[in-house]
Amino acid sequence: MIILDIAFYTLIVVVLIQVFFFLYVFGKFAFHNSKQVNTNPKTPVSVIICAKNEAENLKTFLPTVVQQDYENFEIVLINDGSNDETLEVMERFSLANQNIKIVNVEPVETFWGNKKYPLTLGIKAAKHNILLFTDADCKPVSKYWIKEMVSNFNSKTSIVLGYGGYSKIKNSILNKLIRFETLHTAISYLSFAKMGMPYMGVGRNLAYTKTQFFKVNGFMKHMRVRSGDDDLFVNQAATNVNTSICISKKSFTTSTPKTSFKTWFRQKRRHVSTATYYKLNHKIILALFYTSSLMFWCLSILLLVFWHFPIYGVALICIRCIALFFIYGLSAKKLNEKDLIFLLPVLEIFLIISQLAIFISNIISKPNHWK
């Protein structure tokens, strides 16, 4: 059949695109060797945590930030109009730790549900130039988190992209999907940063200078977009010169993952909605990878169902899968996610379908605010 012939030749092109992404683009991260640039532990740092109704998480995770092995740092805690005991918990920590500063932000109707407004106030209140961000439900995996992240700053670097993973839950396919999506996203943004095209970072583990923040007028260009305090800022401010990545295993953070597909789906809808504001070249490249991934599985299944597959067609699929396992295997080892590799094809298909559903949902209706 002519349609199946067209499908087969299209598959050849798709596989070539996919292998290019895996080996050339994602290989930038997979084969990257981490090197410290600056090891001065005296560089002052402001750790910034914005919290909205996070009393219990602060009780659990804030001690891991307070106990960091670093000589000169402050912790700026931003209470974003919480209606639980968040402010009281912050005040108790502040009484016990002199390096904690509290910024209490009352709700403002103009910026309701927008994390960027309280973050801006917290950044202004920070007394140090280097700002290190994480979330209230995150914890550094080691007491050297600050040191490892800060070690990547130098005279040229003003943005450092870190890795923020999610804790593991046994016998949970949702947990594996969440962690695989996080792994895939990290491989992508860290690889593009290494290639000189940084396009995003994650607020769970991100650092930049106060100077850089005000140089681009902070979040002003996208203040009305409720999400994107991390990825849209990086997309706007990062260049091939001023951006570095930190993949030391002591620099990672872990977060509490969602435990229901509904809440995770709602969270990802909010995150994905910011991609429409990325620079055009970033959107084109990311769309090309996703589209080629979707087409690969659709065309492969179509041709397999109709047995329209010469032997070198099977070889094409094998080449693509080998490249996937090889690059993701190396990357997962770097990011402590090795247990996901055995389920790669299943998780990839599941993620592609979920992303398609998220894309369609966001067209139909806008996602909600950050909390």
How confident is the model at residue 39, as a pLDDT? 56
Full DSSP string of 229-290: TTHHHHHHH--TTTEEE---GGG-EEEPPPSSHHHHHHHHHHHHGGGGGS-HHHHHHHHHHH
pLDDT digits (tens, 9 = 90+) for 148-207: 999 999 999 999 999 999 999 998 999 999 999 999 999 999 999 999 999 999 999 999
Residues of the chain with CATH 3.90.550.10: 34-182+198-258
Residue 268 has a pLDDT of 87
Residue 270: per-residue pLDDT: 81
Looking at residue 324, its pLDDT comes to 96
Beta-carbon contacts of 238 under 8 Å, excluding residues fewer than 6 positions away, are: 159, 193, 198, 199, 201
pTM for this entry: 0.92
Confidence at residue 359, expressed as pLDDT on a 0 to 100 scale: 87
Residue 36's pLDDT is 55
pLDDT of residue 281: 95
CATH code for the structural domain at 34-182+198-258: 3.90.550.10
Residues of the chain with pLDDT under 70: 35-41, 108-113, 308-310, 366-371
